[in-house]
Amino acid sequence: MNIPSVGSLFLFFLVHVASAQQPIHLIPQPVDVQPQQGTFTISKTTTISYNQPKAQAVAAMTAQQLNTPTGFGLNAKSGKKGAIQFDLNATPNPKLGKEGYTLDASSKGVVITANEPAGLFYGMQSLIQLLPKEIESKKPASAAWTLPAVRITDYPRFAWRGIMLDVSRHFFSKEDVKKYIDEIAKLKYNTFHWHLSDDNGWRIEIKSLPKLTEVGAWRVQRSGHFGDRLDPKPGEAVPYGGFYTQEDIKEVVKFAQDRNVTIVPEIDVPGHSMAALAAYPELSCTKTPVMVNPGTAFATWYGNGTFKMFQENTLNPSDEKVYEFLDKVFTEVAALFPNPYIHVGGDECYKGYWAQDPGCQALMKQLNIRHVEDLQGYFMNRVEKILKAKGKKLLGWDEILEGGISPEATLMSWRGIKGGIEAAQMGHDVVMTPSTFAYIDYQQSDVDPPIYAMLRTKKSYSFDPVPEGVDAKHILGGQANLWTEQIPTLRYAEYMTYPRGWALADVYWSPKESKNWEKFVPRMEAHFDRADVAQVNYSRAVYDAIIKTSQKNGKLVLELDSEVPNLDIYYTIDDTMPDAFSTKYRQAVELPEGPITLRVITYRAGKPIGHLIVMSRDALQKRAGR
């Protein structure tokens, strides 16, 4: 009789306990996670099966995802006995809805159950995240392909979970767009808002209006900070840009559908139309030819949110040819995108040229309106009738409220949540996407190149799309917006998206009650490691010090903090480089007079973890005056 030694029994106990306590770091956080005893290991003999033809695509996608890093060559087959089993419910489980799922992993295998294929797809994403980070590799990798035993019940809080990508300011290739959609689908986002037109480029082929892409898709080459660039010169070449053919659009739409992502196209009107006017200047009030803007300063912004344009970028609401033009555009756009919505922008529309235009003045008199702002309401109602004729619903930014919109119109609240609250109280459906929480083009810390404002991951994570006193039935969900004035490449788009896109995935999917920043941090850090393997870029700005200053009793006072808990913060003001032997921050500090320079760095467990931040006294003084 072979009696195991005490040492081997103790080792078995440690391994058993370790496997039972293996951390589960899923994003977004599921509704209910119940860890169980044991593990399941995927091998080359593992079988994958599905119980209905509608489940085949998800099962096949799972096999493909597993095969690349493991090299196993697994196949999905019809049946009910797979070690990894995808089952559609014969009788729907009302708790799960259309996108929910259950995942039951034991030492025998994994069973994922859902009412609809979308639920199986999201169950698959959780399955992949339960496996070691090497599962994200794009080539064969070495790992123990083991996942912990667990029972998960999961379904989304909101039906609309979106990310917008602006491809006007910088053109992103079809393959880049597909890669970005694939990444967000893994996080259970189900809506991709595609910002296809603006002042800086028209990106979608309209066959009945060929100059939109022949002219509107191209601009002069410029470098430097957006808004500070040199104006185009007459006759200058326009090599920068690009557009999507209608065949490209169909390919991307199909790719997204396969990942349960709905694409919502945006054609931004009546403002932000300089690229369209470059192609067809007769649609403006002045009829003056313009060029596609390369990122010059073509407006002056005042502190109260108002502005003045130096160049015309608005369509003429009094010209019937404008509506003929839009009918052609939306006829072709509606045919390409099967979702119910077309986003028509409506934001930041400068009305100064309307106020001076005889045709607009005559229209105002005809409509018996006194304020030029009300012309936008007229314009939007005309646009909505065009969309309705195509079987589409109007969706726009919160400015569309200002001129009056029909009860069927849906609104995206971006200037804070005020517009969303007003729209919901009026009975409109609303997507909450306030810049203060969801504009992921904003700086993530003081090391990022400067842009309009700062938005830290912790603040994004704190967002609740349902304001107090608002009926939740009118809040469709939320969305992150990635404007690309300062984002020329997909790698940098990823850097700006993550980890804020991970935080907002939790906000839009997970129960409000489960929100806990301290518990999110280790999940985020696990996804840093997974993103490294997947070759997806991200920012580590969450580790950077937060620098705050104030004036108290004539003194400049410094306060330091961090998003990630339990970091040590070290600083110097004596022109030396800070390290773990420098002054450790413990409480607010009165800074001495004189031309000092602050240098700050964060450490964890004795190792530097954040970026070095350097700030002059003048910069600190300005920060105190905010």
* Integer Cα distance of 53 and 163 in angstroms: 30
Give me 244's structure tokens.
């999507």
Residues with Cβ within 8 Å of 443's Cβ and at least 6 positions away in sequence, in order, are: 449, 450, 451, 453, 454, 455
Angle at 349 between CA 209 and CA 213, to 5 degrees: 20
Tell me whether strands 430-432 and 475-482 are parallel, antiparallel or unpaired. Answer: parallel
> Is residue 162 within 8 Å of residue 477, measured between CB atoms?
yes
Angstrom distance (rounded) from CA 321 to CA 131: 57
Question: Is residue 49 within 8 Å of 81, Cβ to Cβ?
Answer: yes
Q: Residue type at 399?
A: E
* Token pair for 162: 């979106």
Distances (CA, A) of 518 to 115, 170, 309, 461, 525: 33, 36, 45, 11, 11
Q: Are 157 and 510 in contact (CB under 8 A)?
A: yes
Q: Is 558 helix (H, G, I), strand (E, B) or coil?
A: strand
CB 538 within 8 Å of CB 528: yes
The closest of 299, 316, 296, 315 to 307, measured between CA atoms, is: 299
Task: Please provide residue 51's backbone torsions phi and psi, each rounded to the nearest 5 degrees.
Answer: -95, -15
3-class DSSP assignment, residue 35 = strand
Residue with tokens 């971006």: 414
Number of neighbours of residue 590 by Cβ within 10 angstroms: 10
Q: What is the DSSP string of 268-316?
A: EESSS-HHHHHH-GGGSSS--------S---EEE-TTS-EEESS-----
Question: Where do the H-state alpha helices sit in 307-454?
Answer: 320-336, 352-356, 358-367, 374-389, 418-425, 435-438
One-letter amino acid at 203 equals R
Rg of the chain taking only CA atoms, in angstroms: 27
Spatial distance between the Cα atoms of 591 and 123, rounded to a whole number of angstroms? 53
Active site (catalytic) residues = 348
DSSP-derived 3-state class of residue 138: coil
Max distance between CA atoms of the chain, in angstroms, equals 104
Helix (H) or strand (E) holding 68: helix 56-70
- According to the 3-state scheme, what is the secondary structure of 145-200? CEEEEEEEEECCCCCEEEEEEECCCCCCCHHHHHHHHHHHHCCCCCEEEEECEECC
Task: Report which of 554, 574, 570, 532 is spatially closest to residue 624, judged by C-alpha positions.
Answer: 554
H or E element at residue 503:
helix 500-509
- What is the rounded CA–CA span in Å between residue 157 and residue 493? 26
Residue 4 in contact with residue 164, Cβ under 8 Å? no
Helix, strand, coil % in the chain, rounded to nearest 5: 35, 25, 45
What tokens does 535 get? 């070759």
197-198/555-562 β-pairing: unpaired
